[in-house]
Structure 1
Amino acid sequence: MSTDFQQAREALGVRLRELRLSCPDGRLTGTALACKLGWPNSKVSKLELGKQTATSEDLQQWAIACGQAASYDELQGRLSGFESHIRSWRRQLTSGHKPVQDAHNDAQAKSKVLRAWESSWVVGVLQTPDYARAVLTRSVELHRSPRDIEAAVRARIKRQELLYSGSRQYHVILWEPVLRSLVCSPSVLASQLDRLSGVVGMDTVELGIVPLASPLKIPPGLGFWIYDDRQVVTETWHAELWLDDAEQVALHLRVWSTLREAAVYGPDAHNLISSARRSLG
């Protein structure tokens, strides 16, 4: 969890404590507030110490219980401010995976030059429906989120319309292990590799592959997207990070450019994809 995110969460906790201690009818103890809300005492403590992220409902209930309902808008503004950058999967997936896919579709539609590095799986905009279904199914199982897999697959595949608009350029780099990683069945991976072969040579997509044997100046690290040199989107197991700080964007651009030095393109990239395809039998 980022230092900025944690500091913002702790600041929100301090504000919650101020509201508890300044109730119009007299200050409330943490125990009294927990009792009033029907919460365990530990929840009040964790929220005030910044050890747990409040939900919008938590903030509304807190403000009302402290007799200061009008403070809810301020509290929600604080929460929205830091969650716009750190979007936990637990909260994002409350309504399923389709809204997450829609958010990415919107972000890519608003961009003209898109750069991607991926070391784990084929990027969404180049996935086949079956490959997308396999990856999203694993995500649903991991996060125990609502099972809206088919709606999420349709939303992700809809993103591919952007490839054919002619108004944006995709510069995608994949690590060779992506071509061989069985995050799906062998037959689904075979079809996915056929799809990638068809992408090589598209005028709107520059697809590079970093060979496993290629010397790397830096470790592969996490995958990420860079939109118009203004925003970075990356993810961890617990959250998505949407970064628009100039230094962070510049850092990811350097990482992307460094990894690009090790990539191969055109016929060489096609040969790597074909080799992985033949290995499936």
Structure 2
Amino acid sequence: MTQPKHTHQTWDDYLREGTGPVQDKFLELVRGTRDSRHYCNNVIWGNLQTEDYARAVFRKVVDFHEIPDDVEAGVARRAARAQFIGQGGRTYHVLLSEQALRTNLGGAEVMRGQLTHLLDALALPGLKLGVIPARAELSLYPGHSFTIFDGRHVHVETFSAGLDVKDEREVAVYEKAFTLLERSAVYGREARELVEAELAVLT
């Protein structure tokens, strides 16, 4: 049976039973993926979120979409995804905009914990973490956040829906976008310095 090249499902449908079942689906997707690339232009990538940060995110999701309050279930499932970093030869290439380090979700204490966690994550095996400085010259307009799974499947989230793209030509567009965005990112010591600078503002 041929799989659809696009799946567009509104959050009203996705979240009908709360955040937990949605995170279970993502957990299975992550479990079956060996190579993934993530571009996050305004928040920290899910697998690198602390529980407190994820809790702040899910609280806003529950309140905005007026869905069953299962924030703790969503947090637990999201935290479970982090276990796959460094396992089974999986690789993760993550691009965060500098704005993602600054977007305040949960208040200063939560953000201090999140940024400290990011500093620790820089040493995780299988993880390549880049930060795009706010003043870096871009080779492409920033656009929306997206994830590429094994070069075959792209997931995009909007305010109203989740979009899954599996058409080869469209996936190739996201591959090209990631490559262009990567040109503006810094890694290693320079990435650490950007995170540390934001952390210093909060202390």
Q: TM-score, normalised by structure 2?
A: 0.96
Task: Tell me how many residue pairs correspond in the alignment.
Answer: 201
Q: Which runs of 5+ in 1 are unaligned?
A: 1-79
Q: 2:56 aligns with which of 126, 134, 151?
A: 134
Of residues 155, 158, 161, the one that matches 2:80 is: 158
Deviations 1:118-137 (A, max 9, x none): 01110110000000000000
Residue in structure 2 matched with residue 173 of structure 1 by the alignment = 95
Counterparts of 2:4 and 2:146 in 1: how far apart (Å)? 22
Structure 2: 5+ residue runs without aligned partners?
none
Given the alignment of the two structures, is residue 232 of structure 1 paired with residue 157 of structure 2, yes or no? no
Q: 1:118 aligns with which of 35, 40, 58?
A: 40
Correspondence 1:126-275 to 2 at 5 A: 126-275=48-197
Distance in 1 separating the partners of 2:113 and 2:14: 30
Query: What is the Cα deviation at residue 196 of structure 1?
Result: 0.4
> Please, what is the CA RMSD of the aligned residues?
1.4
SS in 2 for 1:237: coil
Per-residue deviation at 1:106? 0.8
Contact 2:136/2:184 (8 A) holds in 1? yes
Q: Distance in 2 between matches of 1:229 and 1:126?
A: 21
The alignment's TM-score, normalised by the length of structure 1, stands at: 0.70
The alpha carbon displacement at 1:81 in A equals 5.8
Deviation at 1:165, TM superposition (A): 1.5
More strand by share: 2
Residue aligned with 2:164, SS: strand
Q: Quick check: which one's helix share is greater?
A: 1
> How big is the shift at 1:201?
2.7
For CA contacts below 8 A with separation 6 or more, give which structure has more relative contact order.
2
Give me the whole-angstrom Cα distance separating, in 2, the residues matched to 1:142 and 1:256.
29
The answer to whether the Cα contact below 8 Å between 1:201 and 1:266 also exists between their aligned partners in 2 is no
Say if 2:18 is the partner of 1:92: no
The runs of at least 4 aligned residues of structure 1 exceeding 3 Å deviation read none
AA in 2 matched with 1:253: E
**8 Å contact from structure 1 (residues 119, 222) kept in 2:** yes
